[in-house]
Chains A and B, each alone.
Chain A
Amino acid sequence: MARIDLVDLAHSYGGNAADPDSFALKPISMTWRQGGAYALLGPSGCGKTTLLNLISGIVTPSRGKILFDDVDITRHSTQQRNIAQVFQFPVIYDTMTVGQNLAFPLKNRGVPKPEIDRRVAEIAGLLDLAPVLHRKATRLTADAKQKISLGRGLVRADVSAVLFDEPLTVIDPALKWELRSKLKALHRALDLTMIYVTHDQTEALTFADTVVVMHDGRVVQAGTPQQLFDKPEHTFVGYFIGSPGMNIVPAEVGGREAVVGGHRIALQRSYDRLPPDAKIEVGVRPEFVEVAAPAPGLLSANIERIDDLGRVRFARVRIGDVKFAARVPQGFSISGNEAGLIFDPGRVHIYSDSRLVEGTA
């Protein structure tokens, strides 16, 4: 149980002298609130596992400090930090039964026997492991083994935080939903700080109150799933979150107008002081662009195909050379592949060198 502060934390596997651009984790400062459910989301190789291992103490940072409740624990061992961590692949102790596996972290810390039995029974109950408690752990399926790993992570009540490193990779899809909701329920029940690393946005968005999106060793945005959806602070977030991702198209922006492919799009805010040399882009989620019959005043586009996702349909269109996705309204039909696009002006964001620019009212 602790608040975790990262102060100018950075890490390079090549040592501190390495080129700053090559750092696996570029300097970050942020705070993880006690009791929060966080997801660290990003593509493979973005530094999320490095960040997790820095917090748990498996890796010692090249630079910066980590504070647990204002105490500097940067040089403390994993054991001193009292962290629990669950890994991508199941780790079980071959010679032990399921129950002994779950009891292992408690036994190592000299917890009295009745207390161990109580905790093990509780966790086994939560994870449906009670029927196999006395079986050898090696003989179980990968799913069950990973549940044991999860159980070992959760069995200690007093940990500073529980870290999950893509724990559901090996789990069957049907069971994934169930385990994820279990974790969520456990989070509510146990009041633990949980950090969940994943590259799967659904997993991140359903598990976490706060999603931390990482890209190329940097944290590009931390916010609620709603914030990430409504107002991506970085084009990467827009593109990575959402399916299909945000449309990002180069544009010329001046005042309350953006010019995309020779067509003017009205904006709700005014953008007068954009840096002159920056790469200016317009970002808008497909959900907020509607396909309509071609008409004067609408941005015209060529429909390439329409994807039916069940509840919604998205049209893949082209504006000149630029690919674009837009929502297809219910009952919409069109002959030919010419179409017009209707933008929701409040949902159009302007990015300068990939970073969100706040316009003035």
Chain B
Amino acid sequence: MDKTVNQKAWFLVLPVFLVVAFSAVLPLMTVVNYSIQDTFGNNQFFWNGAGWFKELLDPSSDLGQRFFASLWRNLAFSAIILAIEVPLGIIVALSMPRDGWRVAACLVIMALPLLIPWNVVGTIWQIFGRPDIGLLGYTLNHLGMDYNYVSNEFDAWATVIVMDVWHWTSLVALLCYAGLKSIPDAYYQAAQIDGASRWAVFTAIQLPKLNRVLLIGVLLRFMDSFMIYTEPFVVTGGGPGNSTTFVSIELVKIALGQFDLGKAAALSLVYNLIILIVCWVFYTVMTNAGVDRGHKEGAV
């Protein structure tokens, strides 16, 4: 097909270009600007080249140490909540009713935690876990457990993880439920005819059919948990010590606590890059999973 050349068409792209420039490109460039300079206030900047990046990625420096410690902590956190939320979400989705009014009831109840703002979730758990007035903390301590998320690292981690599971398992469950609903009845009937056990139905039909929604679920949950800030900040403030200081909390400490704009900017860019890479990996895996299906499936 012949395309007509019309340079005026660029004007149609202009609004989007402007919006993106002002909302994303320019702010990002200021961060880049900070990351390669140093300042002693008074709006006076000095060239620092890759200095902040070198310091950030050097584990022996103070900044590098803090960065890597929070990065591993954050990855461990993401791994743990994924390992809990994904299987739990699948189990919940499998045990949800198929039809009738109970479906609506389940969906509403499960959507509730998703609708609560992050800082409110944090506040709820911060109070819930307090040994003096919180229901959870009070009960646990009266059952003879020495539970205190303010002073005990393990308790702090457990609280933050349970809070995340409480907040986000519904998302995985709802995604899986939608995936399960889209499996045609004929598959279950065929499995029944073929004499498949419940477990075989799960591994041969349900899990393979869920693989795409699960990928999306894992991606969403990984991203969210890797960027988590508000909830642990409200509950533990990153403590005790630095034990629940995740990357974004560390970033805010450096940027706004110490006002080290150069270091914080370098950290931001590296953080951003990690997220981009992970996104790209997931995207590639997902498109490849699509290629696997090659021919369109006949059913429905």
Contacts and interface: CB of A to CB of B under 8 A. Distances in A.
Interface stretch (B139-147, B169-177, B256-264, B288-296): B288-296
A85 B189 contact: yes
- B-side interface size class: 20 to 34
Nearest to A153: B193
Nearest to A82: B195
Contacts of B297: 90, 138, 142, 145
B193 A96 contact: no
B17 interface: no
Contacts of B184: 89
A357 B209 CA distance: 55
A104 B298 contact: no
B204 to A, nearest CB: 4
B206 to A, nearest CB: 11
Nearest to A104: B194
A90 B193 CA distance: 14
Contacts of A89: 184, 186, 298-300
Contacts, number: 76
A95 B204 contact: yes
Taking chain A's interface residues, is the majority helix, strand, or loop, or is none over half, making it mixed?
A: mixed
B200 interface: yes
A303 to B, nearest CB: 45
B298 A145 contact: yes
Contact of B209 (A58, A78, A94, A108): A94
Interface residues of A, number: 35
Nearest to B208: A94
A292 interface: no
Interface in A82-127: 83-85, 87-91, 93-96, 104-105, 108-109
Interface of B: 184, 186-187, 189-190, 192-197, 200, 203-205, 208-209, 292-295, 297-300
Interface of A: 53, 56-58, 77-79, 83-85, 87-91, 93-96, 104-105, 108-109, 136, 138-142, 145-146, 149, 152-153, 170
A-B pairs, 8 with minimum CB distance: A91-B190, A94-B208, A108-B195, A105-B194, A89-B299, A142-B298, A93-B204, A87-B186
19 contacts: A57-B192, A58-B192, A77-B192, A79-B192, A84-B193, A85-B189, A85-B190, A90-B298, A94-B208, A94-B209, A108-B196, A138-B292, A138-B294, A139-B292, A140-B295, A142-B298, A152-B190, A153-B193, A170-B298
